[in-house]
Chain A
């Protein structure tokens, strides 16, 4: 692991019981389905194991059931069939609030509380958990530092005073605040412009290299999937049609993955044509 100039700020950030790559299964879907009367079956017969410290990408098109899958993890939804086990227990045996306080949650819209300052936003879960004031304050400063936003400058600002990238960094810091073993992210960088997205992705990857959270990230962006993921599960019509390592994904032969790779390759001929025939 490359030492980062900011690594000093991370000294309290590692929770050893969860940090290192372990072979323990942190999240497991066992024949899990989710259906509603209005929308029909959104997720069907899902089987997936996510190990501690692993970053799992759920890749698929809009409406494929990725967000639903994510919500089954933190009990925003309960499976209508089968089981989802998180940290050794079926989700339905968890008190929802207790489970959710152990799972950092980042959504595309971020959902920062507009009436609270940046610091107060980040303190949400530690306060719910009843941490001491001093511990909360230290932690907040650390986290702001870790996402590249100096505490002095930013802690007392309100969300509307931040740029999109800064807001998403705060969203990330807020999700990490109570050092949850698991992080779930629903298109976390989807609303950012490409340059800001790349920056925040880099920031996240750097953090994740240190923290080694069990992370599940929903995206439809292949570059993001290949940049951030250890493994990539391809979701289509509520089913997982493939579960690959990054390297395996390049040779995946399911009915969706080749198309994803083609879409990535499509850029190259375009660039070549522009280079070879300027003005054409």
Chain B
């Protein structure tokens, strides 16, 4: 088993890197979209149902089906990795939007009242008070989204987007467990590493106990 992985180390390394980039780009996109959307539904509650509902709906579509459904779209169908990134981004949105919203809503009303009462603009309240206080929640959302994405990204190989899924699908076709594991084990390690890294960041930004 280890022997097999060692002899294929170059390919595994390339695919791991591919896998990493698929997930990293998707999460970066999902964060850039999800964070403002979470802040938006916090400020405009009437948008909460439509936006959370839509991102919830995406989650209910099986990932293989979503890859397939996006395939006929002109710009997306052109390149498999592009399509995979869009699909992964869509999946990652829900946990990020929801946690951003929850985090912002969890800020003590007296704290935001004081902030506004002292003459902070809405933007200053958001950046200086609400976001820092919501940060642990937001990071937890990104963390969950990342770990899920690493798993889901293996399926992107089905449409030829590359990543560690290639080995898994090849192993399945060849009925060779060594090949499956050569894809599955690095994917699992990647997920664990991401989880650990986010755990560390979360500890760094932890807010001193919020009980004023």
Contacts and interface: CB of A to CB of B under 8 A. Distances in A.
A127 to B, nearest CB: 9
A110 interface: yes
Interface residues of B, number: 23
A125 B119 CA distance: 7
A101 interface: yes
Nearest to A124: B118
Contact of B114 (A96, A97, A111, A161): A111
Most buried by A among B111, B116, B119, B208: B119
B117 interface: yes
B158 interface: no
B138 to A, nearest CB: 14
A98 B113 CA distance: 16
Interface residues of A, number: 27
Interface string A93-124: 00011111100010101111111000000001
A115 B133 contact: yes
A267 to B, nearest CB: 32
A161 B212 CA distance: 10
A159 to B, nearest CB: 5
A271 to B, nearest CB: 36
Nearest to B112: A111
Nearest to B129: A113
B121 interface: yes
Interface string B106-129: 001011111111111100100001
B175 interface: no
Nearest to A129: B119
Interface in A159-181: 159-161, 167, 174-175
B124 A114 contact: no
Chain A interface SS verdict (over half): helix
Contacts of A99: 119
A216 B209 CA distance: 32
Contacts of B211: 114, 160
A180 to B, nearest CB: 9
Contact of A111 (B111, B124, B207): B111
Nearest to A184: B117
A266 interface: no
Interface in A198-235: none
5 contacts: A111-B114, A115-B207, A128-B124, A159-B212, A175-B118
Given A100-B118, A114-B207, 20 more contacts: A74-B117, A97-B121, A101-B119, A105-B118, A107-B110, A107-B114, A109-B114, A110-B212, A113-B114, A114-B133, A114-B210, A115-B133, A124-B115, A125-B118, A128-B118, A128-B119, A128-B120, A158-B209, A160-B208, A161-B208
Interface of B: 108, 110-121, 124, 129, 132-133, 207-212
- Which 3 pairs from chain A and chain B are nearest by CB? A111-B114, A109-B110, A100-B119
